[in-house]
Amino acid sequence: MKATSDKRQATSTTKIFNFCWHEVAEKEKEQIKEESKKLLNEFASKISKIKIRKPKNENKTNENKTGTRVEGDGWNTDEEFREITFANAPFVENDSIITEKATWKK
Amino acid sequence: MEKITLKQKVEQIKKGKLTAIQNVLNFSKKIATPKTKDLNIFLKLNENAIEQAKEIDKQIKNKNAGKLAGLCFAVKSNISVKELETNCASKVLENYVSPYNATVINKLLEEDAILLGMTNMDEFACGASGETSAFSPTKNPRNTELIPGGSSSGSAAAIAAELCDFALGSDTGGSIRNPASHCGVVGLKPTYGAISRYGLIDMTMSFDCIGPLTQTSDDAKLIFDIIKGQDNFDQTTTDTPTHRHTEHRTLGLVNTKNFCDKKIANLIEEKTKLIAEKNNWKIKKINLPLDIAIETYYIIVYTEFFSATRKFDGRRFGKKIEDTAGPEVIRRIIGGSEITKAEYEGKYYRKALGAKNFIKQQFEKIFQEVDAIILPTSPRLPHKIGEKISTQEMYNYDITTVLPSIAGLPAISIPVGKIENKDIGLQIIAPHFQEETIFKIAKQFE
């Protein structure tokens, strides 16, 4: 039987081979590099087409166009992360977690 | 003879109808047969299993044995077990003996389960077929010519061949559910954060989950209830919040046209209709963003896996990964290294994170209308071991399992029948931390 669908196979730029383990020679590494780049470009191009609603805090991230981080006024705490951290905390008083080094135990 | 559940087996052990030692010996004899050895399921065996069983038998006599007293289990070779080789089925970590137990292992040992050994897997969990292991592929016990699925290939095969009572696997994008489907067993991927990952050698840390592989959904629930919960060593974990369960359920049946073998889709639809009618549940046809599933998943996986493997530089852990690993691991490292270059900033990983948010939003919308989602676990029948296929075809094995992984949702694969004498798995997805809903629905299908 062939793979999932002809529609998806048609977009594949990769060659066929068996996936069993073998040692990888330098020449094969070059082929893998070329092929994986092609595949990842296909993937990136495909997800570029979807309309993604920006998350609420998208404009507030501390990054600039150079790829280096700009230290801003501090992070906006992700609510889910805050909830989990507080749930795991040994002692919580109002809006603070009280703990000492090596005592993070319930 | 009707199979008994693990709960019933523990009762029998506690009543003295079967001792822990007998249980270990029964499995050990089976594991040692040439026919079983040929399946290449276990990489390392626990030589202390009998000694541990003796201690547990004493505790049973003293009536202070745990909830899993005398049950035998197997563990995927990427979950750390103290004094046993945790090699991720790779020559990179060959002879690496873990100095500590993963949290899940401690929890099982505290309940007096007995570890039989470490199972084979795809190298560093990179694979969907079980073929990429550096120590030869695992064979599917149902049909030895076929792949068992991966990456928890050995754990699923151990259950299918009845070589242990339960097994642990890890699931990043389907690595428990996919082999469970091909081997005709039950495999649970829990909610991300429900089970501690402490001691799991990570593949993609934002998706990785540890979960059980068993014969029935009741057994999966028993193990899940023991290994779940908040852990101080994994800050992503939390205790399961309590939920009210609705009695009148609506199942969302996913339209898998163009993504799945028609025969498989038809079988899943047929079974779902049958069960829904029997239980007076409604069915709603739904669409999931399957067209961007693989694309989103693999960009994130390549990026995080490249980062995760930087510690394997040959200085502290075994050998240098780039010089020692097989082609699939190399592919992900090279690919990850390329797309994380500063010059490509925003072109791959950030786009994929955007798509991840989109997928999460789609699930949130769908779960406003349905209680659980049903779709095939695997979109196709398993290929023969060593058969040539393309990378994209191999990745497409994950197309129906990666979406709940991306959204951190719990999902189970249960066997629902056969096509061309090959096992087919049905997947049930529920909202975060609603594993109970999954178990209740799964039971109706069994």
Picking from A8, A29, A43, the nearest residue to B334 by CB comes out as A29
CB distance A8–B258 less than 8 Å?
Answer: yes
Kindly provide the residue ranges of all beta strands, DSSP E only, lying in B331-421, ordered along the sequence. 372-376, 389-390, 411-419
Residue A4 has pLDDT above 60, yes or no: no
Min Cα separation A82/chain B (Å): 11
CB < 8 Å to A104, chain B:
232
Query: For residue A52, what pLDDT is reported?
Result: 67
Query: For residue A5, what pLDDT is reported?
Result: 43
CB distance B232–A20 less than 8 Å?
Answer: no
The residue extents of the domains of chain B are: 6-227, 250-288+360-432, 294-344
Kindly provide the residue ranges of all beta strands, DSSP E only, lying in B295-404, ordered along the sequence. 372-376, 389-390
**What is the CATH architecture of B6-227?**
Alpha-Beta Complex (3.90)
CB < 8 Å to B260, chain A:
4-5
Structure tokens at B125: 């969990």
3-class DSSP state of A84: helix
Q: For residue B87, name the pLDDT band (cuts at 50, 70, 90).
A: very high
Query: What are the Cα distances from residue A64, in Å, to A59, A61, A70, B163?
Result: 11, 9, 7, 55
Per-residue pLDDT of B280-297, as tens digits, reads: 999 999 999 999 999 999
CB distance A104–B259 less than 8 Å?
Answer: no
- Mean of pLDDT values over B271-288: 95
CB distance A105–B232 less than 8 Å?
Answer: yes
Contact present, B32 and B191 (Cβ < 8 Å): no
CB distance A47–B351 less than 8 Å?
Answer: yes
Query: For residue B317, what pLDDT is reported?
Result: 78
- Mean of pLDDT values over B35-46: 97
Query: What are the Cα distances from residue B67, in Å, to B15, B63, B287?
Result: 13, 11, 41
Task: Please give the DSSP secondary-structure letter assigned to residue A75.
Answer: P
B70 torsion bin: left (phi>0), alpha (psi -120 to 50), beta (else): left
Give the rounded distance of the alpha carbon of B27 from its chain centre. 22
CB < 8 Å to B304, chain A:
none
Report the mean per-residue pLDDT for chain A: 73
Min Cα separation B397/chain A (Å): 8
The pTM of this model reads 0.87
Per-residue pLDDT of B130-147, as tens digits, reads: 999 999 999 999 999 999
CB < 8 Å to A55, chain B:
357
Determine how β-strand B72-76 pairs with β-strand B114-119.
parallel
Per-residue pLDDT of B49-70, as tens digits, reads: 999 999 999 999 999 999 999 9
- Catalytic positions of B are 76, 151, 175
- ipTM of the assembly? 0.86
CB pairs under 8 A between A and B: 167
Picking from A11, A52, A104, the nearest residue to B232 by CB comes out as A104
- Mean of pLDDT values over A5-31: 72
- CATH ID of B250-288+360-432, from 1.10.3470, 3.40.190, 3.30.110, 3.60.21: 3.40.190
Picking from A4, A22, A44, the nearest residue to B327 by CB comes out as A22
CB distance A16–B381 less than 8 Å?
Answer: no
- Mean of pLDDT values over A45-61: 68
Per-residue pLDDT of B362-385, as tens digits, reads: 999 999 999 999 999 999 999 999
Residue A74 has pLDDT above 70, yes or no: no
CB distance A50–B358 less than 8 Å?
Answer: yes
Query: For residue B444, what pLDDT is reported?
Result: 93
Contacts of B170 (CB under 8 A, 6+ apart): B76, B78, B79, B125, B151, B152, B176, B200, B203, B208, B209, B210, B211
What gap in Å lies between CA B246 and CA B251, rounded to an integer? 12
Answer with the residue of higher pLDDT: B445 or A102: B445
Contact present, B68 and B111 (Cβ < 8 Å): yes
Give the rounded distance of the alpha carbon of B35 from its chain centre. 25
A85 touches chain B (CB under 8 A): yes
Structure tokens at B87: 């090699």
Picking from B326, B387, B396, the nearest residue to A21 by CB comes out as B326
Contacts of B167 (CB under 8 A, 6+ apart): B73, B74, B75, B76, B119, B152, B155, B156, B158, B159, B212, B213, B214
